[in-house]
Amino acid sequence: MSDLVITSAANPRLKAVLALRRRRARDVRGATIVDGAEELALAMAAGARPEVVFWCPDLFNADGAQAGVVAQARAASVETVQLSRPAFEKIAYRDGPDGILAVVPTPGSGLALVQSSRPPLVLVAEGVEKPGNLGAMLRTADAAGVDLVVAADPVTDWGNPNVVRASKGTVFALPCAAASTAEVLEWVAQTGITLVATTPDTDLLYSQVDLTSPVAVAVGSEKHGLTRAVLDAADHVVRLPMAGRADSLNVSVSAAVVLYEAVRQRLEGGQEHT
């Protein structure tokens, strides 16, 4: 069966895709946009099943990567729709699109840990505003083997297209939850996970804390950091050494440093990384 072909940028189906740039529309529909062959391939490999894949052969590279993603979608009985270049560029979310864009169910899970043979490692991001920072933290969390990423008092949603893009699709590969700070702190206490909070306002270095047990690393908003509620509830409040004039790093960098300290300690202790 041949694909539907859309040549008009004013087609109603494209307007419905454009609506997903707004959070309200994503919440109502329970879906988001994945723009890019690499991101969509990772999402599908993680188990995400697109509702529809839009593709534009005029934007494909010669290496056949985009065509392979389309073929994979068809093999999974996903609807594929061919667009003209003007039509595709109408819905493309990023500059320099590669001719692949899909509508995919919004990622996200509950506050729960999957059973594992090693102590869980959790990342809590409280009030982080910039989708790019959340996405960057997801890429780090995926690489570091984090078991759960939690957005506490989230400002943005996991389905934000900029989160999806910045995460390179790993938002679909990791358990990602969203809850109020109070709910997150209650869950941490109930599960017996050690809470390690990051802030410039402490003397304890992040490397001086044992991160080999079940642990949740908490980072705060770009402007204000962690709230007093998280700092007061933490088992350890740690800082990164800062030799320059700035008193802190970008939140995604701070998260990466502490998470990889946990990885280092665990590897030295004989724990498996994967």
CA distance 125 to 96: 30
Per-residue pLDDT at 1: 59
Token pair of 172, please?
């679909």
Query: For 218-240, how does the pLDDT look when each residue is reduced to its tens digit (9 = 90+)?
Result: 999 988 999 999 999 999 999 99
Q: DSSP E strands: which ranges in the chain?
A: 4-6, 31-35, 52-55, 79-83, 100-105, 121-126, 148-152, 176-179, 194-198, 215-219, 236-238
CA distance 23 to 156: 8
Helix (H) or strand (E) holding 274: none
Token pair of 104, please?
């995919």
- φ, ψ of residue 114 to 5 degrees: the values are -75, 140
For the chain, helix (H) and strand (E) counts, in that order, are 10, 11
Per-residue pLDDT at 64: 84
Picking from 215, 231, 171, the residue whose alpha carbon sits closest to that of residue 47 is 171
Assign 48 to helix, strand or coil.
coil
Q: Per residue of the chain (274 residues), what is the pLDDT tens digit?
A: 579 999 999 999 999 999 999 999 999 999 999 999 999 999 999 999 999 999 999 999 888 899 999 999 999 999 999 999 999 999 999 889 999 999 999 999 889 887 777 899 999 999 999 999 999 999 999 999 999 999 999 999 999 999 999 999 999 999 999 999 999 999 999 999 999 999 999 999 999 999 999 999 999 998 899 999 999 999 999 999 987 777 778 999 999 999 999 999 999 988 876 6
Residue type, 81: V
CA distance 34 to 14: 14
Q: Could you tell me how far CA 35 lies from the centroid of its own chain?
A: 14
- Concatenated DSSP letters for 186-243? HHHHHHTPEEEEE-SS-S-BGGGS--SSSEEEEE-BTTTBS-HHHHHH-SEEEB----
Per-residue pLDDT at 248: 72
Query: For 131-148, how does the pLDDT look when each residue is reduced to its tens digit (9 = 90+)?
Result: 999 999 999 999 999 999
For residue 20, count other CB atoms closer than 10 A to its CB: 21
Picking from 61, 34, 76, 270, the residue whose alpha carbon sits closest to that of residue 164 is 34
Please tell me the pTM assigned to this model: 0.91
Q: Could you tell me how far CA 171 lies from the centroid of its own chain?
A: 4
Token pair of 83, please?
């667009």
Per-residue pLDDT at 274: 62
Token pair of 17, please?
């895709």
Token pair of 79, please?
């609807």
Residue type, 207: S
Picking from 148, 129, 229, 221, the residue whose alpha carbon sits closest to that of residue 181 is 229
Per-residue pLDDT at 200: 92
Helix axes 37-45, 65-75, angle to 10 degrees: 40
Per-residue pLDDT at 98: 95
